[in-house]
């Protein structure tokens, strides 16, 4: 009896020691989740993640095991990829209470359930899909909402309510906040390829978050191209791995990197169209192609020749039918770093010039300009153009409302 008690006491002390060690390593908020228990080892799962005050940590994909083995030694090492991919961040920016029970399992007191209980019919909308509207119709006001019954929603939906949603004033149809399972159901056995500039990379990551039901890389903010490339690569990998395990899971990919930015001379149009064709050849009936560019085209033209930039985009869209075009974002000039502010000042006019050209011929598009213009809070953007992860998930919700419909 006394031996068992002293062993339990020793384990408890080592558990506290592990806490102190990791607290010295990083002050990031931690999330604790159970992984497994064997007769010999206690496994404690630690996810080191960022919050609004801890952006830009150098490596936010680090997930570790602490093993308190039979000899009570502490073994600290990175998780393997399989375990890391299983670690779901129900967790980002939430604090979980801890309770260590007699069998040494970690119990969490979290009222959020990750599986919605609503029974809805979800349907894919074939090309030309569902254009939600533009201009004043798509203006919106960001707000957060509380829900009376959290069990009726999944993690993605609950986080949208908590972080912020922006319902357009007069969309062509009601906006639905898709759960992860609804998004997967709509796009099941289909392929969505996304290409274009850095804003399209951000949209892709937002869609990946929804399909995977978690915040990839613990919601690290993509504050520069290096981080953006890394997160896109990880998103492509995780989505592909999920499809390998379940062929009904949608194929979603970011493709033709750098080719479709619009910065490599006027020939970018043909190069991008050819790349898309090669990537989707023979799969046209099951593939949705989503593209967006504009900013780098205008920059190549000295940030002045807006008409030529709009014409290039129009020519590109005619080369790549069927395609869904995503507008450039709105730039908040006061957040743009001073050295780039003057060059950026004309970029808000690209979409205004292009829209009257493509709208009359019923070119399908998603207007992200109004959405991003409506997001004026400081945490919406870190440079006036690129948006925070929660804004990109809301962009992805508008994309899903363009591709899918929900019938109660």
Question: pTM score > 0.95 for this model?
Answer: no
**Over residues 163-175, mean pLDDT:** 91
Q: What sign results for the dihedral spanned by CA atoms 180, 243, 221, 323? A: negative
Q: Please state, in angstroms and as integers, the Cα–Cα distance from residue 119 to each residue in 173, 400, 402, following that order.
A: 20, 18, 21
Residue 114 predicted with pLDDT over 70? no
CATH 3.40.50.1110 location in the chain: 121-407
Return mean pLDDT, the chain: 74
Residue 74 predicted with pLDDT over 70? no
**308: its two tokens:** 């030529």
CA nearest to 176, candidates 219, 118, 128: 118
- How far, in whole angstroms, is CA 58 from its chain's centroid? 19
Residue 407 predicted with pLDDT over 90? no
Pick the CATH number of 121-407 from 3.40.440.10, 1.10.1370.40, 3.40.50.1110, 1.20.58.220: 3.40.50.1110
Q: Which residues of 58-88 are buried (b: 16+ CB within 10 A; e: fewer)?
A: eebbbbbbbbbeeeeeeeeeebeeebebebe
Per-residue pLDDT, 369: 86
User: Which residues are within 8 A (CB) of 54 and not within 5 positions of it... i.e. 6 or more apart?
Assistant: 27, 28, 29
Per-residue pLDDT, 159: 97
Instruction: Label residue 336 by pLDDT band (50, 70, 90).
Output: low
Range of weakest confidence among 3-7, 131-135, 323-327:
3-7
């Amino acid at each position: 009896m006394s031996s068992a008690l002293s062993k339990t006491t020793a384990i408890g002390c080592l558990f506290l020691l592990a806490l102190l060690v990791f607290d010295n390593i990083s002050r990031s908020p931690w999330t604790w989740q159970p992984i497994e228990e064997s007769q010999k080892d206690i496994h404690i799962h630690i996810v080191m993640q960022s919050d609004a005050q801890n952006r830009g940590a150098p490596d936010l994909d680090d997930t570790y095991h602490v093993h308190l083995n039979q000899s009570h030694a502490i073994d600290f090492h990175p998780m393997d990829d399989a375990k890391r991919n299983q670690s779901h961040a129900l967790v980002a920016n939430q604090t979980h209470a801890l309770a260590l029970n007699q069998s040494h399992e970690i119990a969490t007191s979290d009222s959020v359930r990750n599986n919605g209980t609503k029974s809805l019919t979800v349907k894919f909308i074939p090309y030309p899909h569902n254009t939600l509207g533009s201009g004043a119709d798509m203006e919106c006001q960001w707000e957060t909402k509380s829900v009376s019954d959290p069990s009726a929603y999944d993690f993605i939906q609950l986080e949208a309510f908590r972080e912020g949603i922006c319902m357009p004033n007069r969309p062509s149809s009601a906006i639905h906040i898709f759960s992860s399972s609804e998004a997967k159901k709509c796009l099941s056995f289909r392929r969505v390829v996304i290409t274009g500039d850095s804003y399209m990379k951000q949209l892709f990551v937002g869609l990946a978050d929804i399909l995977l039901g978690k915040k990839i890389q613990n919601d690290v903010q993509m504050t520069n191209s290096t981080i953006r490339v890394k997160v896109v690569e990880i998103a492509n990998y995780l989505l592909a791995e999920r499809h390998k395990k379940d062929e009904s899971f949608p194929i979603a990919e970011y493709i033709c990197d750098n080719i479709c930015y619009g910065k490599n001379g006027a020939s970018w149009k043909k190069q991008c169209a050819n790349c898309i064709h090669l990537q989707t050849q023979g799969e046209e009936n099951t593939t949705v192609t989503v593209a967006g560019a504009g900013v780098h085209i205008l920059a190549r033209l000295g940030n002045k020749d807006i008409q030529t930039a709009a014409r290039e985009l129009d020519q590109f869209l005619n080369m790549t039918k069927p395609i869904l075009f995503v507008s450039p974002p709105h730039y908040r000039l006061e957040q743009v770093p001073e050295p780039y502010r003057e060059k950026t000042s004309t970029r808000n006019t690209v979409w205004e010039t292009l829209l009257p050209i493509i709208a009359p011929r019923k070119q399908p598009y998603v207007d992200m300009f109004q959405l991003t213009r409506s997001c004026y809070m400081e945490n919406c953007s870190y440079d006036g153009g690129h948006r925070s992860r929660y804004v990109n998930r809301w962009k992805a919700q508008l994309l899903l409302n363009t591709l899918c419909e929900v019938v109660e």
